Amino acid sequence: MTELLTAEELRARIRAFDPTEKKVLGGLIVLMIRNHHRIKDTEWIFESLARLSVPALGLDQEGEVDEDLDTVQEFVQRSSRQLLNVAFPLFVAVAGDMRQKMADGESYALDDACARALDYFE
C-alpha cells in the first residue's frame, strides 16, 4: 500500500502536518491499533477519517449539517492520501517496536502501543 519509513522520516512527515491533520492522524492511529483486525477494511478507514474530522475541524454537532458535510468531505478528499501514507507505516513501526519489547521479554498492552505511536508526534 505504501512504503515503510524510518522513525525519523515518520516524525518529519508528522511535523509537516497542520494541527487538524495531526489530530485526525492521532485519532486514526489509536483506532487502528485498537481495531487492528479492521485495518484492511477501506470503508472503515474512511468512515473513521470522516468521524475524526468532525471534532478536529471544530465542527459543532448542532451546526449546519449540509455545510459541515461539505467541509468534512473536502478535508477527507484533500488529506486522506497524505494521512494514510503516514498512518500505515506508523502502524507497522509501532508493531515492530512492540515486537521488540516482546523479544526483550517485556509485555505490553494496547495502551502501550497507542502511547508509543503518539511518541512519534514529538
Asked, for residue 67, whether it belongs to a domain, the answer is yes
* CB of 114 closer than 8 Å to CB of 33: yes
Give residue-wise pLDDT tens across range 33-60: 999 999 999 999 999 999 999 999 998 7
- How many separate domains does the chain show? 1
Asked, for residue 39, whether it belongs to a domain, the answer is yes
Distance CA 25, CA 30 (A): 9
- Bigger pLDDT: 12 or 5? 12
Asked, for residue 1, whether it belongs to a domain, the answer is no
Asked, for residue 2, whether it belongs to a domain, the answer is no
Distance CA 32, CA 37 (A): 8
- Amino acid identity of 6? T
Distance CA 74, CA 2 (A): 23
Give residue-wise pLDDT tens across range 89-117: 999 999 988 888 788 888 778 889 999 99
CB 110: neighbour CB atoms within 10 A?
13
Domain that holds residue 47: 7-119
Task: Give Cβ neighbours of residue 104 (< 8 Å, ≥ 6 apart).
Answer: none
Distance CA 91, CA 114 (A): 10
pTM reported for the whole predicted model:
0.88
Instruction: Find how far residue 17's CA is from the centre of its chain.
Output: 12
CB 117: neighbour CB atoms within 10 A?
25
Asked, for residue 87, whether it belongs to a domain, the answer is yes
